[in-house]
Structure 1
Amino acid sequence: MTVDQSHRAGPCEQVDDGITRVFQLLGKRWTGPIVAVLMAHPAHFADLRRAIPGISERMLSDRLTELGAAGLVVREVDEGPPLRVTYGLTPTGAALEPAISELREWARKHLPESAESCTR
């Protein structure tokens, strides 16, 4: 691959603070899929676990706690019986929808499916 004359290498600028913060949160494994699942509608813990193959209960719990602390996810407890916990996006979390949709479309165009994902 060659670099065109108008795109010569030069000194790098420091990464934007906003990009750093967003990827510190959303760049963690499993966070993106959790947010993407919750875009459609609120979900119970067990439903989230089924919707995201490979995630452990502990990891799901940890990520939901982090997303809650960041103000992206809200946890609602229905005392039951049985006791049920529902997770949903806050307005701040829901505001990620255009970005998540763009990333989904970019992946469809530019990231080929692996043989592993085709066999699921």
Structure 2
Amino acid sequence: MATPKPGKPVRGSKTGQPIMALFDLLGRSWTMGVIWHLYRGPSTFRKLQEYCESISPTTLNKRLKELTESHLIERSIDGYMLTQQGKELFELLSPLGKWAKTWAKNYPSK
């Protein structure tokens, strides 16, 4: 599956609306986990693999490539790190974590 790009067809949008391209990227397995982990600071491939527990090397390579192509992460001497744009995205998404905890507490457990 190709890296989602604004202006190109993506899941949920034939015209590639920017928000839909972003949701397509963020909705892929382990993408959010990688972003969350890299917010703490640069990390090597091995550390990311440990953090993401059951991720295969193939999947991690795909996610790192997609996030790099999307200018959300970049390579550094310490491994991978968020770009400024990646940090801004994390800051925008972070409040959803708090909301999700409240939502989870109120979620019916059937």
TM-score by structure 2 length?
A: 0.73
Shift of 1:52: 1.2
Q: Deviations over 1:46-81 (max 9, x none)?
A: 1111111211111111100000000011013x5xxx
2:93 aligned with 1:100, yes or no? yes
Distance in structure 2 (CA, Å) of the matches to 1:96 and 1:48: 19
Shift of 1:87: 0.2
Partner of 1:58: 58
- Following TM superposition, where does structure 1 have runs of at least 4 consecutive aligned residues deviating by more than 4 angstroms? none
8 Å Cα contact 1:38-1:88 kept in structure 2? yes
Q: Deviations over 1:1-39 (max 9, x none)?
A: xxxxxxxxxxxxxxx923212101111111011001001
2:43 aligned with 1:43, yes or no? yes
- AA matched with 2:68: G
Distance in structure 2 (CA, Å) of the matches to 1:110 and 1:54: 26
TM-score by structure 1 length?
A: 0.68
**RMSD between aligned residues:** 1.8
Partner of 1:34: 34
Q: Which has the higher strand share?
A: 1
Distance in structure 1 (CA, Å) of the matches to 2:97 and 2:55: 19
8 Å Cα contact 1:39-1:97 kept in structure 2? yes
**Percentage identity across aligned positions?**
32
Structure 1 stretches lacking a partner, 5+ long: 1-15, 79-84, 113-120
